[in-house]
Amino acid sequence: MPKKVPEMGPAQVRNLRHGVVKKDSKTRKVGEPCVAYHRVGGVDGLVLQCRPPAAGQEIGSRSWLLVTTVGLRRREIGLGGYPDVTLGEARELARQKKEEIRNGIDPVEQNQERKAKERELQRKKITFGELAEEYYKIKEVTFRGKNPQRQRNRLRNAIDRCSLEIGNITIGDLAVEDVLRVLRPLWTTKTPTATRIRQTIFQIWKLADSRKLVSGKNPAEWDDNLDGWLPPAKRIHRTRHKPAMRHHDLPEFMKLLVERDTTPSRALEFQILTIARPTEVQFAEWSEINLEEQTWTLPGSKMKNRDPNEAHIVPLVPRAIEILRSMPQTGRYVFPGYKGNEQISENALNNTVKAIHQESLKAGGKGFMDPRYNKIACAHGMRSCFKNFAAAKTDFDDVVSELSLAHLDSDETRAAYLSEQILDRRLQLLNAYARYAYTGKLPRKRQRKDY
């Protein structure tokens, strides 16, 4: 029969302190302070744990433990710190725990479950704004292509707009009404922006769903959800294409362009001859150019809506090769910027078009306007100029001009056929276009059937 421990009184407990090592070991020496466990009686297994004082302390921390067994497992059940929990309170708590154990409850497991529920509850209290910031950190390192900073800025702006309205809402409480509060002020006036914001909210909610923070339908879902509250974006927003000059104005434009002796002018001329997007020319690298094979290979990661592993090859006409040979191969990019910048600026090509437009007006010309929008043509609009020329003035099949523009073919069979990119046909078309641009002479009439 175990020896019964005499009950200590409050004064005795008040004087209990840490112990000292009484026997040398590999890690401790005799006389060193150590933790002591004092049995205080009254309830079997109730002890006061006394730790050595930390630096600057007179007395170390002291806390109550109930040392007992639950089934076959030894348990040390914490009952609180001393003196916050008095001797009498500790004995009462110990008796309660003993009663729970007799009723088949493991207080340690019960406490662990309670803490787990509290942590889960706290985790689910994360707000939309907090999760949006996590989403941004995940996404910002994944952006690739020719201008990842622009992608980051767009996402940043979308998240900032959301956070102003719904940032403080717990993600699990986010409702359709909250999403509408963000979208309605923009939906009819800035439809593309509102659409991106809806997609951002949708993705953030999906992140919450993957972490088991939410349940039910995504409040930013369009089908059978927001479509009952908002008109379809395609019905209220008319896509405005980039302003472009008419193709029969191109020869006059080129006469003025070739007279300009600047890097942006050569870059714009190169863009017209390759039908590339302005940013693709801005970030064109020497490593992508093969002067011997007379090609420019753009990685898919630098192109719009293209698989990163799917490159686009541009056949180069003779004048494009001349432009490349005239540029200094001193840096990474083909068209270096001013003041030591690696590449020309984002607006360099558009500014050149505007300068030529003004030059034409000063000389008594009509300039280079897009009659649809009554706006000055832009560099990107040169692609529309090429498309109109190819359709109106040549007999090349439409697929040749589409592939020259790096437009992906929606028909899987045609896309498979075009995997070789029909460079010879495209080069014929680009040569005809270049001839027209510099001389105004149209290609000879003859049928070219590519299928």
Fold of 10-117: Double Stranded RNA Binding Domain (3.30.160)
Distance of alpha carbon 143 from alpha carbon 308, whole angstroms: 11
For residue 68, list its beta bridge partners.
Answer: 75
Spatial CA neighbour of 214 closest among 266, 178, 265: 178
Q: Where are the alpha helices (DSSP H) in 259-379?
A: 263-274, 278-282, 318-326, 348-362
For 54, residues 6+ apart whose C-beta sits below 8 A from its C-beta are 60
CA dihedral 41, 46, 51, 57 (to 10 degrees): -70
CATH fold match for the domains 128-236 and 247-439? no
Fold of 247-439: hpI Integrase; Chain A (1.10.443)
What are the backbone angles phi and psi of residue 246, rounded to the nearest 5°?
-70, 145
- Angle CA(3)–CA(5)–CA(10) in degrees, nearest 5? 180
Given CATH 1.20.1530, say whether it is the number of domain 128-236: no
Q: Where are the alpha helices (DSSP H) in 146-220?
A: 148-166, 176-187, 191-210
pLDDT tens sequence for the chain (451 residues): 467 788 999 999 999 999 999 888 888 889 899 999 999 999 999 999 999 998 888 899 999 999 998 888 888 899 999 999 999 999 999 999 999 888 888 888 888 787 777 666 666 688 999 999 999 999 998 887 667 888 899 999 999 999 999 999 999 899 999 999 999 999 999 999 999 999 999 999 999 999 888 889 999 999 999 999 999 988 887 767 789 999 999 999 999 999 999 999 999 999 999 999 999 999 999 999 999 999 999 998 888 777 777 889 999 999 999 999 999 999 999 999 998 899 999 899 999 999 999 999 999 999 999 998 899 999 999 999 999 999 999 989 888 998 899 886 555 545 544 555 688 999 999 999 999 999 998 876 544 444 3
Helix, strand, or coil (residue 357): helix
Contact present, 226 and 220 (Cβ < 8 Å): yes
pTM for the whole thing?
Answer: 0.59
Q: How far is CA 427 from the centre of its chain?
A: 38
Complete edge-to-edge strand list for the sheet that includes strand 62-70: 36-39, 46-50, 62-70, 73-82
For residue 285, list its beta bridge partners.
Answer: 333
Could you state, in order of their start, the residue ranges of all structural domains in the chain? 10-117, 128-236, 247-439
